[in-house]
A and B are shown apart, each in its own frame.
Chain A
Amino acid sequence: MNLLAQQDGMTHTQQLLADDPIWLVLLKVVVLFAVGVVLTLFMINWERKVVGRMQQRPGPNRTGPGGWLQSLADGLKLAFKEDIMPVLADKKVYFLAPVISTIPAFVAFSVIPFGGEVSIFGERTVLQLVDLPVGVLVVLACSSIGVYGIVLGGWASGNPYSLLGALRSAAQVISYEIALGLSVVGVILYAGSLSTADIVEAQSGGWYFYLLLPSFVIFVISMVGETNRAPFDLPEAESELVGGFHTEYTSLKFALFFLAEYVNMVTVSAMATTLFLGGGRIPFLGPVNGWIEFVVFIAKTLLFLFLFIWLRGTLPRFRYDQFMKLGWKVLVPVALIWTMIVFAIRVFRTTTGAESTAALVIAIVLGFAAVLTIAFMLPDRTEDAADVELASSYPVPPLDLAPPGRSRKRIARATPDPEPALTGKED
């Protein structure tokens, strides 16, 4: 990728970032870390308040002004709770798992383009820690590494609930990452770059969320699956698995898992803003002051975070097989076919000359996409359920589990009671 940068010359953003003195880089690292933690604290509180309102109750409103310090108080309280190391736990892995899940969460946060050019203490720079030529890949890679922390933590706890939660989490993240990655391909194709700042820059002509609507929809669905949030929060399904992978974790170790989860939510929301909502740009305006862009960026990110809360307040949790089915049999094929179509359209629009050949090839590609579509819509082969051999003559409920016909109420209504209803008290 360095080769690529040298060929085209560095972009303006990369030039500015490369000139940052080391104190500014360190300052940005610290501030970015603080932004992650503060957004987490805010998000927990906001989530509890909004979900509370959705359930006709006020939510936390006692600690601090308007209850906004509740999550800070909870975080402090967690630090003063007993740290338990279960007997069956694998000590080293149990100890390290929260660290493993925290580090990638923050690293992914560092390629987000928060805003444009500003001047900090007389130094011209960009409100972004790094603008790597592989920025989008960093986010995807970090979200995959983050699941190691969950899997190792769940395995090392020595608890069946934790183990199940961890395994679910692994299956979930790998299933939804495919769809997530495929939905990003369209954006990269249109922007012609993997760098997050370039992608924002490329959207000055139009945001990708309407230019690439299917990509946007797939991205939003799979980002919820990727971060283990409701309605896809199967790794920590309270009604099935107690706490899921963090059942055995207490005190600050538990807090770190919580922190990682919320920072990941902020990261994917920020990525959705970057990839589809034009980053910090305001529609019909060119680049404005970097600080204003920062505010706009945060506002757009909060929009996605609100979506997370809204989903949690509205939708019930998926069943596990339904969840896997949605990922592998709906999102992946749709993303695959859409990617093919986007490729074909793009090449058609950029190719000059040789129109007939281009049209032919593009027709073939679109035809292939159509064949794929039909192939995926074929009904599944279903095997007839074998007759069940009963082990004994003990009466069993019907095994075909067919839904009953009409409900008792309707039957009662259809056939009026022959006896007249009792109208009054008998003497």
Chain B
Amino acid sequence: MLDPYLALLFMALLAGAFALFSVTAAPYIGPRRYNRAKLDSYECGIEPSPKPVVGTGRMPVAYYLTAMLFILFDIELVFLYPYAVAADSLGLFGLVAVTVYIATIGFVYFYEWRRGGLEWD
């Protein structure tokens, strides 16, 4: 008997092998005609904006509040799934518990909304 997760691994390996092969083979299959301008970053024909040499430097992220709220909600979701599966056997107790749980996160969500954390400027 095979572990069912092994099939997922096979799939990942096949997809990964295909993708890696494509990415590696691309420079060898295609032509190579050197042109300095071609290697600049594409900014609609104007001179590319200057950037640090290593990576692209740090950038301000405007939506960190959204990201934090996402983490909150994602954790809520992950705990709602087991409840949804077992809801029938948990009965009323489960319903009360999950209501308190959603209320907690709903309050935080509502607070962030009213404080303007969800506005996009």
CB within 8 Å of B: which residues of A?
Answer: 14, 17-20, 22, 25-26, 28-30, 32-33, 79-88, 90, 95-96, 98-99, 102-103, 105-107, 109-111, 129-132, 136-138, 155-161, 163, 167, 171, 174-175, 177-178, 181-182, 185-186, 188-189, 192-194, 242, 247-248, 251-253, 255-256, 320-321, 324-325, 328-329, 332, 336, 339-340, 343-344, 346-347, 350-351, 354, 357-358, 361-362, 364-365, 368, 372, 375-376, 381
Among B11, B56, B113, the one with the most A-chain Cβ atoms within 10 Å of its Cβ is B11
A79-B29 contact, Cβ under 8 Å, with A88-B51, A185-B80: yes
Question: Contact: B85 with A107, CB < 8 Å?
Answer: no
Question: Contact: A82 with B31, CB < 8 Å?
Answer: yes
Task: Give the interface SS of chain A, mostly helix, strand, loop or mixed.
Answer: helix
A selection of 29 A-B contacts at a CB cut-off of 8 Å is: A18-B4, A26-B10, A28-B7, A33-B15, A79-B30, A80-B30, A82-B31, A86-B39, A103-B15, A106-B12, A107-B8, A107-B15, A110-B11, A129-B7, A163-B59, A177-B70, A177-B74, A185-B84, A188-B81, A252-B23, A324-B120, A339-B80, A340-B99, A343-B98, A346-B87, A347-B87, A354-B92, A361-B96, A381-B116
Chain A residues near B14 (CB-CB < 8 A) = 29-30, 33, 106
Question: B residues 51-75 with Cβ under 8 Å of A?
Answer: 51, 54-56, 59, 61, 63, 66-67, 69-70, 73-74
Chain B residues near A28 (CB-CB < 8 A) = 7
User: Closest approach, in angstroms, between the C-beta of A284 and any C-beta of chain B?
Assistant: 27
Question: Contact: B23 with A175, CB < 8 Å?
Answer: no
Chain A residues near B40 (CB-CB < 8 A) = 86-88
Chain A residues near B41 (CB-CB < 8 A) = 86-88, 157-160, 248
User: Closest approach, in angstroms, between the C-beta of A367 and any C-beta of chain B?
Assistant: 10
Task: Give the docked Cα–Cα distance between A201 and B102 (Å).
Answer: 29
- Number of A-B residue pairs, CB cutoff 8 Å, is 236
Q: Which residue of B lies closest to A134 (CB)?
A: B81
Name the 5 nearest CB pairs between A and B, nearest first: A106-B15, A252-B26, A174-B70, A159-B41, A102-B19
Chain B residues near A347 (CB-CB < 8 A) = 87, 91-92, 94-95
User: Closest approach, in angstroms, between the C-beta of A110 and any C-beta of chain B?
Assistant: 5
Instruction: Known A-B contacts: A110-B8, A361-B95. Give 10 more (CB < 8 A).
Output: A19-B1, A102-B16, A103-B15, A131-B4, A194-B85, A248-B42, A256-B19, A347-B87, A350-B88, A375-B110
Task: Give the docked Cα–Cα distance between A138 and B8 (Å).
Answer: 10
Chain A residues near B18 (CB-CB < 8 A) = 33, 102
Question: Contact: B74 with A29, CB < 8 Å?
Answer: no
Question: Contact: A160 with B118, CB < 8 Å?
Answer: no
Question: B residues 1-37 with Cβ under 8 Å of A?
Answer: 1-2, 4-8, 10-12, 14-16, 18-20, 22-23, 25-27, 29-33
Chain B residues near A30 (CB-CB < 8 A) = 14
Chain B residues near A130 (CB-CB < 8 A) = 4-5, 7-8
User: Closest approach, in angstroms, between the C-beta of B74 and any C-beta of chain A?
Assistant: 7
Chain B residues near A354 (CB-CB < 8 A) = 92
User: Closest approach, in angstroms, between the C-beta of A45 and any C-beta of chain B?
Assistant: 20
Q: Which residue of A lies closest to B56 (CB)?
A: A158
Question: Contact: A325 with B39, CB < 8 Å?
Answer: no
User: Closest approach, in angstroms, between the C-beta of A322 and any C-beta of chain B?
Assistant: 9
Question: Contact: B23 with A253, CB < 8 Å?
Answer: yes
Question: Contact: A22 with B91, CB < 8 Å?
Answer: no
Size category, B interface: 35 or more
Question: Contact: B67 with A174, CB < 8 Å?
Answer: yes
A372-B106 contact, Cβ under 8 Å, with A84-B39, A381-B114: yes
Chain A residues near B19 (CB-CB < 8 A) = 98-99, 102-103, 256
User: Contact partner of A103 among B10, B16, B48, B70, CB < 8 A?
Assistant: B16
A175-B70 contact, Cβ under 8 Å, with A106-B15, A185-B81, A362-B95: yes
Q: Which residue of B lies closest to A135 (CB)?
A: B4
A84-B38 contact, Cβ under 8 Å, with A110-B7, A339-B80: yes
Q: Which residue of B lies closest to A90 (CB)?
A: B55
User: Contact partner of A365 among B32, B44, B91, B99, CB < 8 A?
Assistant: B99
Chain A residues near B108 (CB-CB < 8 A) = none
User: Closest approach, in angstroms, between the C-beta of B35 and any C-beta of chain A?
Assistant: 10
Chain A residues near B99 (CB-CB < 8 A) = 340, 343, 364-365, 368
Q: Which residue of A lies closest to B91 (CB)?
A: A351
Question: Contact: B22 with A252, CB < 8 Å?
Answer: yes
Question: Contact: A256 with B63, CB < 8 Å?
Answer: no
Chain A residues near B8 (CB-CB < 8 A) = 107, 110-111, 129-130, 132, 138
Chain B residues near A247 (CB-CB < 8 A) = 42
Q: Which residue of A lies closest to B63 (CB)?
A: A171
User: Closest approach, in angstroms, between the C-beta of B13 and any C-beta of chain A?
Assistant: 9
A174-B15 contact, Cβ under 8 Å, with A79-B30, A155-B56, A347-B94: no
Task: Give the docked Cα–Cα distance between A68 and B109 (Å).
Answer: 49
Q: Which residue of B lies closest to A350 (CB)?
A: B88
Q: Which residue of A lies closest to B67 (CB)?
A: A174
